[in-house]
Homo-oligomer: A and B are copies of this chain.
Amino acid sequence: MSTAGRGLHGHVLDTLGPAITAGEYPPGSVLRTDELAQRFDVSRSVMREAVRVLESMHLVESRRRVGVTVRPKAEWNVYDPQVIRWRLAGADRPRQLRSLTVLRSAIEPVAAGLAARHATAEQCAELTECALGMVAHSRGHQLHGYLVHDMAFHRVILSASGNEMFARLGDLVAEVLAGRTHHDVMFEDPDPAAVTLHVQVAEAVREGDAERAEQLTREITVGALHELDILAP
């Protein structure tokens, strides 16, 4: 599901990363590698590797004679999948989920429009298959089956857009959908209107109707925004 704590330094990251992103160490805090190495019971080299990774994520800055200082939240690489996972697992999960949903609402309609232009026959087939799967699992508390097809649907759309930047958001959207299903509302069956919209998007993409695909997807994302009470009345 998530990244395995590969190696010793991976295990350090799995506990230090969430701690930093959760705000346990406020911006400007100084951490000494020696102390951390002792605390995690690893050598200083291992700790240095972990610090380098944190540094590449702009979570911390390492300076001589000063130590490892935590950088302000505004400078973090919030698009790093690892950082996103850490924040989703932490305390400000709701805030993160809202940010990501707004991002979805901006990206996915455009991606759907592009997909209508560039999707291959195989991708169109996958898309309709996913939509049908969603319909099949839309009633009778089959939330897990519905979720699987929903995630696959959006992943295909993003991938079929032909834009690599969009394609790489597949994991992110999947994480948002999974989070919404598991932790928030949605104890009931999904909104029938949303299911219909997905089927129609698959149609529009198959017919190459970019304008319609974009508008329909926009309606889907607007629904997602409403679920989180983001849209003002």
Interface residues of A (CB under 8 A from B): 9, 45, 48-49, 52-53, 55-57, 73-74, 76-82, 99-100, 102-103, 105-107, 109-111, 114, 117, 163-168, 232
Contacts and interface: CB of A to CB of B under 8 A. Distances in A.
A74 B164 CA distance: 7
A100 B165 contact: yes
Contacts of A48: 45, 49
- Ordered nearest first, which 9 A-B pairs have the shortest CB separation? A79-B79, A106-B110, A53-B56, A49-B52, A103-B165, A99-B165, A106-B107, A102-B163, A106-B106
13 contacts: A48-B49, A49-B49, A52-B53, A53-B56, A56-B56, A77-B81, A79-B80, A79-B165, A79-B168, A80-B80, A103-B163, A103-B165, A105-B110
Contacts of A106: 106-107, 109-111, 166
Contacts of A80: 56, 77, 79-80
Contact of A110 (B53, B77, B102, B166): B102
Given A52-B53, A110-B106, A78 B117 contact: no
A56 B102 CA distance: 26
A163 B97 CA distance: 11
A160 to B, nearest CB: 14
Contacts of A165: 78-79, 99-100, 102-103
Contacts of A100: 165
Contacts of A73: 164
Nearest to A110: B106
A167 B72 CA distance: 14
Contacts of A56: 53, 56-57, 80, 82
A105 B161 CA distance: 14
Given A49-B49, A74-B164, 4 more contacts: A45-B48, A56-B56, A78-B164, A102-B166
Nearest to A100: B165
Contacts of A167: 74
Which of A73, A78, A232 has its CB near the most chain B CB atoms (within 10 A)? A78
Nearest to A161: B102
